[in-house]
Amino acid sequence: MRVPLVAVAFVLLAGSRPAAAADAPKSWRFTTGARAEVNVENVSGKIDVEAAPGSEVLVEAVTRGGTETDRAQWVTEVEGHGAAVKVRARCGGWASSCHSRASVELTVKVPPGSRVAVHGVSSDVRVKGVSGELRAETTSGDVQIAGAGNTSVHTVSGDVHVDGAAEISVKTVSGDVTLRGVQRESRLGTVSGDIRWQGACAVGCRLAADTVSGDLQLALASASSFDLDYRTRSGDFSDGFASSPQRSGREGVHTRIGKGEGSISFHSVSGDLELVKQ
Amino acid sequence: MKAVALAVLLWAAPALAGGGSATTAVAGPVTIQLETTSADVQVKGTAAHKVTLSVDDSDIQVALVAHGDRIEATFDGRRKLRSGEVRLEVPTGSRLELSTVSGDLAVERLGGEAYLHSLSGDVHVDGASVADVQTISGDVVVKATAGAMRIKTVSGDARVGPVAGPAAELQFETTSGDLVWSGACGAHCRITAATVSGDLSLALDPRSSFELRYQTYSGDLEDHLGLGGVSLSPRGLDRPARFGAGEGVIDCKTFSGDLALRRR
């Protein structure tokens, strides 16, 4: 019996756990210019957006999981007009409900300067290297962003991780937020999600965070220079910079680190604030 | 409730108050209200016909003030204690109304109704007739409470049980908190749970008898009970599943939260 080499390779690569069944990938290509406007919507499958040099938008969709009948219920609609590209994965018809165990995984490559809007429901979202305006929204999916420009993220319970952005606005209900390397302004709000902000805060840095019970940890470069205003009902303040507060009492702390060139404010009902010197 | 009100009204003995503690005699179970910002509160039910309140700072003037059918705790004349630790002893069967921003609340052998609100403090109830708990991010533990329970959180997790008897009543609502529940669900049992992304884990006594409804957008069902004939889609169960004679009701709605059913 002759066994095709491809089949042998597949078995060796897959190991003992077979990969989830998947349809053949479908792909689309649009010439948009360097500043495409890309809108991506999905429900539960992951969304992966990555910047690629050039003036084209490439879309790849793979329907994965469940039976063939499950996968057949998913439709990926992709359309492009000039600079605008819309991608939407949906299950079932407009009037019928979805009964499928499959999901669609979307991979989109865009020119770096593109303007991108991503909407997931329970989809995890990953965006890398997009320097144009970026908007990401999920209900429970996590959001991971790297090397972004002006960015806004909204989730209900999804966690948010950002590694490098010019300016950012993040709002969650209970999702935790981790930010590293934000260059200018960070506007952050959660109900109970904790926030960790890591980087240097000096000239041009502005960070404003509001939470109900979420904590804020600032892991700051030792060369940081900013004014800090912390207002709280019952949160605790931990100061790794050992600063000399101008105001420190029941309702919060006002202090200056270095020359006070940047600005950090944190308002919280019971969230703690921790300054960590790096 | 009427009995509680009557007990306070009939017994108008003045409270003995002083630095750090106060005691007042009562005829039986009472309704008591207490508020803190970040102070922790421990409450115990006792057989004694008195209410005793103490704080860990003897400089604070503590008082128990009767207002109609309820007793209110005050600290230096204010209704809210900012920080520290509070200990409260009440007659078994009393009704408790505690509120805190970030203090932890612990209630033991109360035997009466517990209404507990916390923003980020954790809540622990061991032995109440009714538990009504609301938190934002505080975790909740409820034990030895056979009556109705209502737990609402944003991200706080809840652990309930084991619940005695087949007639468990639980209403659980959360955004992302998880629920772990154990007990039996039979006649007159009603468990409802609604989450966005919080997972639900129910450990059920094999003598249980209930109908299960599970609606979800993208959550998974893990069935170790052997419900049989269950058909799950990403929208949940196509139709209610039955375990035993189907006397009680378990009604779960999640957005992306999973439901796990286990045998206790």
Collapsed DSSP state (helix, strand, coil) of residue A165: strand
Question: What percentage of chain B carries pLDDT values higher than 70?
Answer: 91
A-B Cβ pairs (cutoff 8 Å, strict): 105
Query: Which DSSP letter does residue A22 get?
Result: B
User: Minimum mean pLDDT among A151-160, A238-247, B19-28, B205-214: which range?
Assistant: A238-247
More confident residue, B234 or B108: B108
Of A156, A173, A270, the CB nearest to B120: A270
Q: Quick one: closest CA in B to A67, which residue?
A: B233
Residue A271, CA distances (Å) to A38, A105, B52, B85 in order: 37, 37, 31, 20
CA pair distance A93, A26, nearest whole angstrom: 20
Of A100, A121, A213, the CB nearest to B137: A213
Subunit contact A156:B217, Cβ cutoff 8 A: no
The DSSP result for chain B, as a single string, is -HHHHHHHHH--PPPEEEETEEEEE-SS--EEEEEESS-EEEEEEESSSEEEEEES-TTSEEEEEEETTEEEEEETTBSEE-SSEEEEEEETT-EEEEEESS--EEEES--SEEEEEESSS-EEEES-SEEEEEESS--EEEES--SEEEEE-SS--EEEEEEPSSB-EEEEE-SS--EEEEE-B-TT-EEEEEESS--EEEEE-TT--EEEEEEESS--EEESS---S--EETTEESS-EEETT--EEEEEEESS--EEEEE-
More confident residue, B167 or A168: A168
Subunit contact A140:B197, Cβ cutoff 8 A: yes
Residue B146, CA distances (Å) to B46, B110, B133, B142 in order: 19, 12, 15, 10
**B15: closest CA of chain A, how far (Å):** 30
**B71: closest CA of chain A, how far (Å):** 25
Subunit contact B256:A122, Cβ cutoff 8 A: yes
Q: What pLDDT does B5 receive?
A: 42
CA pair distance A267, A273, nearest whole angstrom: 10
User: Minimum mean pLDDT among A30-34, B55-59, B85-89: which range?
Assistant: B55-59
Q: Tell whether the model's pLDDT for residue B218 goes beyond 90.
A: no
Chain B environment of A271 (Cβ under 8 Å): 120
Subunit contact A156:B137, Cβ cutoff 8 A: no
The rounded Cα B42 to chain-centroid distance in angstroms is: 14
Of B120, B154, B196, the CB nearest to A139: B196
CA atoms within 13 A of residue A213's CA, in its CB half-sphere: 23
CA pair distance A38, A81, nearest whole angstrom: 11
**Pick among A157, A191, A195 to test the B interface (most B CBs inside 10 A):** A157
Subunit contact B120:A156, Cβ cutoff 8 A: no
Q: Tell whether the model's pLDDT for residue B36 goes beyond 60.
A: yes
Subunit contact A99:B235, Cβ cutoff 8 A: yes
Identify whether the C-beta of residue A109 lies closer than 8 Å to the C-beta of residue A51.
yes
Q: What pLDDT does A241 receive?
A: 87
The answer to whether A125 contacts chain B (CB < 8 Å) is no
**Pick among A192, A215, A250, A273 to test the B interface (most B CBs inside 10 A):** A192
The one-letter amino acid code at B135 reads T
Subunit contact B255:A139, Cβ cutoff 8 A: yes
User: Minimum mean pLDDT among B11-20, B67-76, B79-88, B131-140: which range?
Assistant: B11-20
Of A122, A140, A173, the CB nearest to B154: A173
The predicted model gives B167-172 an average pLDDT of 94
The predicted model gives B185-196 an average pLDDT of 96
Q: What pLDDT does A82 receive?
A: 96
**A175: closest CA of chain B, how far (Å):** 8
**In A129-261, which ranges are E strands?**
134-137, 143-154, 160-172, 177-182, 185-190, 195-199, 206-211, 216-220, 226-232, 237-239, 247-249, 252-257
Q: Quick one: closest CA in A to B82, which residue?
A: A234
Burial (CB count <10 Å: 0-12, 13-18, 19+), residue A30: buried
Q: What pLDDT does B229 receive?
A: 66
ipTM comes to: 0.78
Interface of B with A in 119-158 (CB under 8 A): 119-121, 136-138, 154-156
The rounded Cα A254 to chain-centroid distance in angstroms is: 31
**A233: closest CA of chain B, how far (Å):** 7
The answer to whether A99 contacts chain B (CB < 8 Å) is yes
**b/e sequence B180-213, b meaning 16+ C-beta within 10 Å:** bbbbbbbeebbbbbbbbbbbbbbbbbeebbbbbb
**A234: closest CA of chain B, how far (Å):** 6
How much is the pTM? Answer: 0.84
Chain B environment of A214 (Cβ under 8 Å): 137
Interface of A with B in 199-228 (CB under 8 A): 212-214
Which residues fall within 8 angstroms of residue B63, CB to CB, at 6 or more apart?
Answer: B15, B17, B22, B73, B74, B77
> In a structure prediction context, what are the per-residue pLDDT tens digits for chain A, which is 278 residues long?
333 433 333 333 344 445 579 889 999 999 999 999 999 999 889 999 999 999 999 999 999 988 888 888 899 999 999 999 999 999 875 545 566 778 999 999 999 999 999 999 989 999 999 999 999 999 999 999 999 999 999 999 999 999 999 999 999 999 999 999 999 999 999 999 999 999 999 999 999 999 999 999 999 999 999 999 999 999 999 999 888 877 777 778 999 999 999 999 999 999 999 999 98
Mean pLDDT, rounded, of chain B: 90
**A60: closest CA of chain B, how far (Å):** 22
Q: In 10 A of CB A55, how many CB atoms?
A: 15
Q: What pLDDT does B76 receive?
A: 94
Q: How confident is the model at residue B50 (pLDDT cuts 50, 70, 90)?
A: very high
Q: How confident is the model at residue B233 (pLDDT cuts 50, 70, 90)?
A: low
The answer to whether B255 contacts chain A (CB < 8 Å) is yes
Q: What pLDDT does A3 receive?
A: 38
Find tokens 């897959």 and name the residue: A14
